[in-house]
Amino acid sequence: MTASRIGVLVSGNGSNLDALLSASRRGDLPEIALVLANVAGCRALSRAEEARVPARFLDPRAAPSREAYDEALAAELGEARIDLVCLAGFMRLVGRPLLERFAGRVLNIHPSLLPAFPGLHAPRQAVAAGVRVSGCTVHFVDAGLDTGAVIAQAAVPVQLDDTEESLAARILEQEHRLFPAAAAWVARGEVALEAGRARWRSPPQRAEGAIACPRTDRP
């Protein structure tokens, strides 16, 4: 699979959206063609509008069920001819209608080295657990909570005096580098989801810094 049009789902501040937009402007990513939010007035929507990218709020309360909301998301993305969907701080589990329509083409960024610390407040979990290394993960999205196949990870050391806030800030710096890089690999067809695993067609281009690609499998 290769992709020429990317859709981004957002809920909050939108700093990862900003990183994707910057990569697209540089030519490192295909066009960001649509941004959809499930939170009215979130900063991510204004970032998209400032970048002159079509963006809109899709109200979950207007849908009669979670499945109906996912169907509405999938329809909006389909109408915009989206090839690849990126969840950039989208604080909602996506369900069957969207995952089936965009099978193997939905990516998420999570602030831990999955499978460690899935779900909310991952940096808080890392500090509380006393781990010495945390980081972030880009993965294909499945129906579980942060359980999809890992594409790439970036490691971030945990300092002895770290708080949730200080660790989250350093992880976020790596997210802004890792997400565009991993999305570009998928968009170019260098890595794809096959039989529940991230399978590489060719050796990945290693981004500068502490970024690791966990597998280099080829058919």
**pLDDT tens column, 80-116:** 999 999 999 999 999 999 999 999 999 999 999 999 9
Q: Residue 141 domain-assigned?
A: no
Please check whether residue 33 is in contact with residue 126, taking contact to mean a CB–CB distance below 8 angstroms.
Answer: no
* Domain match, 6 and 69 both: yes
Q: Residue 115 domain-assigned?
A: yes
Question: Is the pLDDT at 137 greater than 70, yes or no?
Answer: yes
Question: Is the pLDDT at 204 greater than 70, yes or no?
Answer: no
110 in catalytic set: yes
Rounded to whole angstroms, the Cα distance separating 69 from 88 reads 18
Name the pTM for this structure. 0.93
Backbone φ, ψ for residue 142 (5° rounding): -125, -165
In single-letter form, the type of residue at position 100 comes to: E
Please check whether residue 198 is in contact with residue 140, taking contact to mean a CB–CB distance below 8 angstroms.
Answer: yes
Per the residue annotation, which of 110, 121, 139, 176 is the catalytic one?
A: 110
**Strands 55-57, 84-87: parallel, antiparallel or unpaired by DSSP?**
unpaired
Q: How many domains does the chain fold into?
A: 2
Q: Which domain holds residue 193?
A: 111-136+153-219
* Domain match, 28 and 120 both: no
* Domain match, 9 and 57 both: yes
